[in-house]
C-alpha cells in the first residue's frame, strides 16, 4: 500500500505542476528584445539545467538521474523515476549606438517540467513526458521622425507570443549503443502591432493601428543516438548524434487595420479600415542537426564538445521568408565530482563549467555573434538508501552577449536557472502483506 500511495502522490504532484507551468507559459514576462520580432521569436535555451552549466553540452551526455531531452537516446539509461523541473531568471541589457542609450529588463519564466520513467529494471529502456518553451516574442519599441508638412510621426511596434513543445519520448539500447525518439505537438502564437500617430498643429490626423494575430500548431519529430567506447578502466568515450526534421505548422491569422484615439482606459477604435479573419496558412519550422563527444571517467569527471546547426533560412510564414539565416553553435563543457561516496557534502557536489559560441539566426547584414559562459553545480539534498529516494538541486549561471559595437543594438544577459531532480523507484511489488 505504501508504494501505491507514493505513486498516487507523485502522479498528483506531476499533474499539478503541469497545470501551473502551462498557466505560467500563457503569461507575458517583463522583457523587451527587439530581435524577437523576427521569425517565431528569440530561441530560448533548450537544454536542461545540468547541461546549461556545461555550456549547453548535451548531445553526447547522459546520467542515471537527470533527464536529457535534447538526445532521447539518453532515456535508455534512466534507472529511477525522475520529476525534473526548472525556472529561469534573466536580466537583459540593451545598448543602442545612435543615440547612445541603455535599457534593462528582468523576467522570471518556467524552463521546463518533465517526468522520466525507466521501463526496464534489468535492460536499457526508458521514456520521458514533458513540456517546455522553445521561443519567445516580447518587445515594445518606439521611434519618431519628421515628414515635410507634418511636425513628426511617432511609430510604436509591439509584439508578444512564443512557441512551446509538449512531447513524449523513448530510448532503448544496450550497454554500448542506444537510440531514441521524441514526438509531440509544437504550438504557439504571435501577435504583432504597429501604431502610427501624426503630430500636426493644424490638421487632426487620425492614429492608425495595424495588427496581425496568428495561432499555429503541428506535430514534430526528433531522434538521437549514442555510442559508448571503453578506452580504459572506468573510462569511456561517448559519441552522440541528434536530428530534428523540418515540419509544417497549421496556422490561422487575423489581420486588422484600424483608426483609433487614446482613451482613459486605453485605445478607442474609431473605424475598422480592413479586417480579415481565420486566414488559413502554414509556417515552416526548420530542421536541425548536431553531433558531439564526451570523455568520461565514471563517477568522477566528464569533458566534451559538440556542434549543432539549424536551417533558419528555410523558415516560412505564409510562404514568406524572414530576416533569418542558417546558424551554428559550438559548445564545450566539463563536470567534476571530487568523491561521490565521501561523507563530506562538498565532495559529493557536481561542479560544472562551459562556454558556447556561434552566429545568431537573425540576419542584420553584418557579423552578429552570440557568446555564452556558464558554470553551475548539482547539490545532493537527500539520498535515502532504504527508500531509494534521491533529491538534487541543480543550478546554472550563464553570462552572455549578442552583437558587438558594429551592430546598432547589442544585448547582454545574465541568467540564473534553478531546478530540482526529484527521484524515486516506482512500481515495486509488495513483499509483505
Find all residues with CB under 8 Å of 80, minimum gap 6, and list them.
Answer: 64, 65, 118, 388, 390, 423, 424, 425
- pLDDT tens for 204-216 read 778 888 889 999 9
The pLDDT value given to residue 385? 52
pLDDT in tens, 129-145: 999 999 999 888 877 77
Write out the DSSP string of 362-402.
Answer: B--SS--EEEEEEEEEEEEEEEETTTTEEEEEEEEEEEEEE
Please say if the pLDDT value at position 92 is more than 50.
yes
Which helix (H) or strand (E) element contains residue 160? strand 150-173
pLDDT digits (tens, 9 = 90+) for 156-198: 889 999 999 999 999 999 989 999 999 999 999 999 988 888 8
DSSP secondary structure letter of residue 34: G
Kindly list the domain boundaries of the chain, sorted by start residue.
2-424
Indicate whether 374 pLDDT > 70.
yes
- Tell me: the pLDDT tens digits for 199-250? 766 667 788 888 899 999 999 999 999 999 999 888 999 999 999 999 999 9
User: Average pLDDT, stretch 75-81?
Assistant: 90
Confidence of residue 333 (pLDDT cuts 50, 70, 90): very high
| Distance in angstroms (rounded) separating the CA atoms of residues 337 and 64 | 15
Assign residue 86 a region (left: φ > 0; alpha: ψ between -120 and 50; beta: otherwise): beta
H or E element that contains 18: helix 2-25
pLDDT level of residue 23 (50, 70, 90 thresholds): very low
| pTM of the predicted model as reported, rounded to 2 decimal places | 0.85
Domain 2-424 top-level CATH class: mainly beta
Cite the DSSP H helix spans in 280-400. none
Average pLDDT, the chain: 85
What the block records as the C-alpha cell of 284 is 515552416
DSSP character at residue 403: -
Best CA proximity match to 208, nearest among 193, 228, 230: 193
Q: How far apart are CA 77 and CA 28, in angstroms?
A: 36
Amino acid at each position: 500500500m505504501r508504494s501505491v500511495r507514493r505513486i498516487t502522490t507523485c502522479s498528483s504532484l506531476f499533474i499539478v505542476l503541469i497545470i501551473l507551468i502551462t498557466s505560467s507559459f500563457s503569461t507575458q514576462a517583463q522583457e523587451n528584445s527587439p530581435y524577437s520580432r523576427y521569425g517565431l521569436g528569440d530561441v530560448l535555451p533548450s537544454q536542461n539545467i545540468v547541461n546549461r552549466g556545461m555550456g549547453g553540452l548535451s548531445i553526447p551526455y547522459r546520467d542515471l538521474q537527470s533527464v536529457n531531452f535534447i538526445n532521447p537516446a539518453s532515456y535508455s539509461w534512466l534507472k529511477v523515476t525522475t520529476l525534473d523541473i526548472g525556472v529561469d531568471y534573466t536580466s537583459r541589457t540593451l545598448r543602442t549606438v545612435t543615440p547612445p542609450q541603455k535599457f534593462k529588463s528582468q523576467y522570471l519564466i518556467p524552463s521546463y517540467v518533465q517526468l522520466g520513467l525507466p521501463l526496464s529494471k534489468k535492460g536499457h529502456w526508458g521514456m520521458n513526458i514533458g513540456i517546455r518553451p522553445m521561443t519567445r516574442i516580447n518587445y515594445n519599441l518606439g521611434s519618431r521622425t519628421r515628414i515635410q508638412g507634418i511636425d513628426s510621426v511617432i511609430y510604436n511596434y509591439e509584439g508578444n507570443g512564443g512557441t512551446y513543445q509538449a512531447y513524449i519520448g523513448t530510448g532503448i539500447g544496450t550497454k554500448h549503443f542506444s537510440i531514441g525518439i521524441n514526438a509531440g505537438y509544437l504550438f504557439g502564437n504571435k501577435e504583432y502591432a504597429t501604431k502610427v500617430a501624426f503630430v500636426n498643429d493644424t490638421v487632426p490626423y487620425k492614429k492608425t493601428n495595424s495588427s496581425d494575430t496568428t495561432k499555429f500548431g503541428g506535430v514534430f519529430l526528433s531522434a538521437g543516438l549514442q555510442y559508448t567506447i571503453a578506452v580504459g578502466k572506468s573510462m569511456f568515450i561517448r559519441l552522440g548524434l541528434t536530428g530534428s526534421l523540418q515540419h509544417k505548422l497549421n496556422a490561422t491569422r487575423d489581420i486588422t487595420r484600424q483608426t483609433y484615439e487614446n482613451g482613459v482606459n486605453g485605445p478607442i477604435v474609431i473605424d475598422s479600415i480592413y479586417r480579415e479573419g481565420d486566414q488559413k496558412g502554414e509556417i515552416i519550422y526548420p530542421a536541425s542537426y548536431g553531433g558531439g563527444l564526451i570523455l568520461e571517467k565514471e563517477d568522477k569527471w566528464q569533458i566534451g564538445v559538440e556542434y549543432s546547426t539549424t536551417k533558419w533560412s528555410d523558415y516560412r510564414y505564409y510562404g514568406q521568408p524572414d530576416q533569418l539565416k542558417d546558424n551554428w553553435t559550438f559548445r564545450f563543457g566539463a563536470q567534476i565530482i571530487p568523491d561521490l561516496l565521501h561523507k563530506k557534502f562538498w565532495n559529493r557536489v557536481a561542479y560544472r563549467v562551459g562556454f558556447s559560441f556561434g552566429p545568431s539566426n537573425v540576419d542584420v547584414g553584418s557579423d552578429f555573434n552570440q557568446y555564452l559562459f556558464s558554470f553551475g553545480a548539482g547539490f545532493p539534498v537527500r539520498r535515502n538508501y532504504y527508500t531509494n529516494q534521491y533529491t538534487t538541486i541543480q543550478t546554472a549561471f550563464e553570462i552572455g552577449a549578442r552583437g558587438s559595437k558594429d551592430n546598432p543594438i547589442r544585448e547582454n544577459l545574465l541568467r540564473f536557472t534553478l531546478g530540482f531532480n526529484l527521484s524515486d523507484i516506482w512500481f515495486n511489488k509488495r513483499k509483505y502483506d
